[in-house]
């Protein structure tokens, strides 16, 4: 009986500690041009799916709704450039990225910019709303990784790798690897969960 009570108490402690490590990330953004409701829903779902294993609970707020006194553990401001419509896909010029994060004096700032036109061009004009939303979610999650982990480094595989292909954006199975997830967790948690991963590299 005593062993059973101790086991139940330990389970409860683990649950409480795990919950305490969950942080709220507020993303302030206005909808991209020609981005419909289905795409927005798919985008938000994908961002949450990718970041949940890092202990991040994402809430979305309109930039115009920001009020003084709001207090979130992490805040990111996102903006969309170009058009998110598949009706007028134009060839992208140059080698610019699908998205980028602001950096000042070597410090990563909590501002990210998504080039919607380039994402749409990579997907092609036959992409469905759910495909567009999922692709945008992956691009956004990649930039959030840089902001939360406070790093410009990329990884070899997964959402934290340097470049995405159309296959990466469309593949049903595409997520952060364990090493990258650990980088986004608080230092005390990352040391425990990421230690085994790092020692083998």
User: Two tokens at 11?
Assistant: 């389970």
Q: What are the sequence ranges of the domains in the chain?
A: 23-188
Mean model confidence pLDDT for the chain: 81
Give the mean model confidence (pLDDT) for residues 21-37: 88
Predicted local distance difference test score (pLDDT) of residue 84: 86
Q: What is the DSSP string of 86-141?
A: STT-----TT--SEEEEEETTEEEEEEEEEHHHHHHHH-TT--HHHHHHHHHHHHH
pLDDT above 90 covers a percentage of the chain that reads 60
**Distance of alpha carbon 95 from alpha carbon 98, whole angstroms:** 9
Q: Which fold has domain 23-188?
A: Collagenase (Catalytic Domain) (3.40.390)
pTM for the model = 0.81
**Distance of alpha carbon 143 from alpha carbon 67, whole angstroms:** 24
Who wins on pLDDT, 83 or 159? 159
Weakest mean pLDDT among 16-20, 160-164, 175-179: 16-20
Bridge partners (DSSP) listed for residue 24: 57
Name the band, by pLDDT with cuts 50, 70 and 90, for residue 188: low
Q: Are the CB atoms for 43 and 173 separated by under 8 Å?
A: no
Residue 107 has pLDDT above 60, yes or no: yes
Predicted local distance difference test score (pLDDT) of residue 154: 94
């Amino acid at each position: 009986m005593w062993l059973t009570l101790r086991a139940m108490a330990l389970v409860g402690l683990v649950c409480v500690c795990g919950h305490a490590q969950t942080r709220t990330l507020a993303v302030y953004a206005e909808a991209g041009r020609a981005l419909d409701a289905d795409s927005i829903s798919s985008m938000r779902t994908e961002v949450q799916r990718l970041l949940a294993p890092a202990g991040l609970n994402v809430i979305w707020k309109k930039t115009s709704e920001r009020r003084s006194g709001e207090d979130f553990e992490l805040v990111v401001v996102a903006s969309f450039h170009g058009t998110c419509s598949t009706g007028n896909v134009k060839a992208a010029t140059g080698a610019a990225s699908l998205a980028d994060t602001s950096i000042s004096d070597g410090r990563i700032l909590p501002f990210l910019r998504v080039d919607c036109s380039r994402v749409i061009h990579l997907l092609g004009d036959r992409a469905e709303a759910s495909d567009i939303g999922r692709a945008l979610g992956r691009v956004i999650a990649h930039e959030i990784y840089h902001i939360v982990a406070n790093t410009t480094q990329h990884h070899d595989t997964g959402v934290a790798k340097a470049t995405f292909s159309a296959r990466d954006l469309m593949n049903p199975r595409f997520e952060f690897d364990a090493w990258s997830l650990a980088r986004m967790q608080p230092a005390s948690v990352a040391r425990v969960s990421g230690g085994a991963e790092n020692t083998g590299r």
